[in-house]
Amino acid sequence: MIIFETTNFLLKKIRFDAKRYLQSFGRKQLAYVLFLAVLLLYYLFGHVLEYSDKRLPETTVVMEQYGQRLEMNLSSKQTDTIVVLKEREHLLTAIEERIVAYLYQMPDYSYMTSLEVYLKYRPELLQQFPSAVPLEKGDYVLSSQYGIRTHPISLKTKKHFGIDLAAPLGKTVYATASGIVSEVIYSSNGYGNHIIIKHRFGFESLYGHLNKILVRKGQKIQQHELIATVGNSGNSTGYHLHYETVKNESKIDPIPSLNLKRNVYAELIEQNNNNHGE
Ligand SMILES: [Zn+2]
């Protein structure tokens, strides 16, 4: 009862105060509030734009500028090393910020080519989005591409939203990036037994027609971690892994992502060998 009365009293007081406040609201205050609202909208809109692909060209230009400065810095023969090292550190951070913005903004892997040259400065970012093959080398054959195809069962023309990697029963399946398991589904149709992993930058990966699933929903996964084995569950005509990549809720072609990490590291190793050879 006491609680009820107190609440009632407080509500009345708030109502009264609000009324009085609104009455005393002058034009000056109104202009001020409107100004604040516009400022807030401007801030929110800017933030949304930061993560939209409309900003991609801008991000690319800034990244290129930092990249050129970094190349100059790296080849510098200056004796004042502290200044050079400080600048290098600053440029690497600036480049990382641009790479991160670019990864959020890009709609699919076809935009990756402009980014690939800069990833060698921050190769650890490759762990956080699909950049590898989900099966072991020699275990699989690419049996179906992403895109329009005739479905092997229904014989209807349909878009294939992933790629098929034919592999024998029980071959091990690995996460193509670190992330969190968002779905573990056991089913006898569609994708069959399948896993979805959520990664950074709006990426997701899906592994379908599995035999055994070795992870559970909500589990934190590292890149290249063993997650399942190849099977033939669901709507499938033979042992294979159906692999999908999703970016900002849209299914995208995973093909350019498969050798991404390998290519960047191959370049790093080559660079390293050259430097030691000097
Ligand atoms: Zn498939």
pLDDT for residue 195: 98
Which residue type sits at 216? R
The alpha carbon of 276 and the centre of ligand 1 are apart by a number of angstroms equal to: 45
Beta strand 203-213 with 226-230 is antiparallel
pLDDT for residue 83: 87
The alpha carbon of 102 and the centre of ligand 1 are apart by a number of angstroms equal to: 29
Spatial contact of 241 and 164, defined as CB atoms under 8 Å apart: yes
Residue 118 neighbours by CB under 8 Å, 6+ apart? 63, 67, 95, 98, 99
Assigned CATH class of 141-260: mainly beta
Q: Which of 116, 128, 134 is nearest to 265 (CA)?
A: 116
The alpha carbon of 164 and the centre of ligand 1 are apart by a number of angstroms equal to: 5
The alpha carbon of 243 and the centre of ligand 1 are apart by a number of angstroms equal to: 7
The alpha carbon of 263 and the centre of ligand 1 are apart by a number of angstroms equal to: 25
pLDDT in tens, 34-75: 888 888 887 776 666 556 677 888 888 888 999 999 988 888
The alpha carbon of 122 and the centre of ligand 1 are apart by a number of angstroms equal to: 33
pTM for the model stands at 0.78
> What CA–CA distance (Å, rounded) separates 41 from 26?
23
Stretches where the chain sits below pLDDT 70 are 1-4, 6-7, 16, 18, 21-25, 45-52, 79-80, 277-278
pLDDT for residue 32: 86
Extents of the domains making up the chain: 2-50, 141-260
> What CA–CA distance (Å, rounded) separates 49 from 276?
44
The alpha carbon of 242 and the centre of ligand 1 are apart by a number of angstroms equal to: 4
Residue 144 neighbours by CB under 8 Å, 6+ apart? 160, 163, 164
Beta strand 147-150 with 172-174 is unpaired
Spatial contact of 130 and 106, defined as CB atoms under 8 Å apart: no
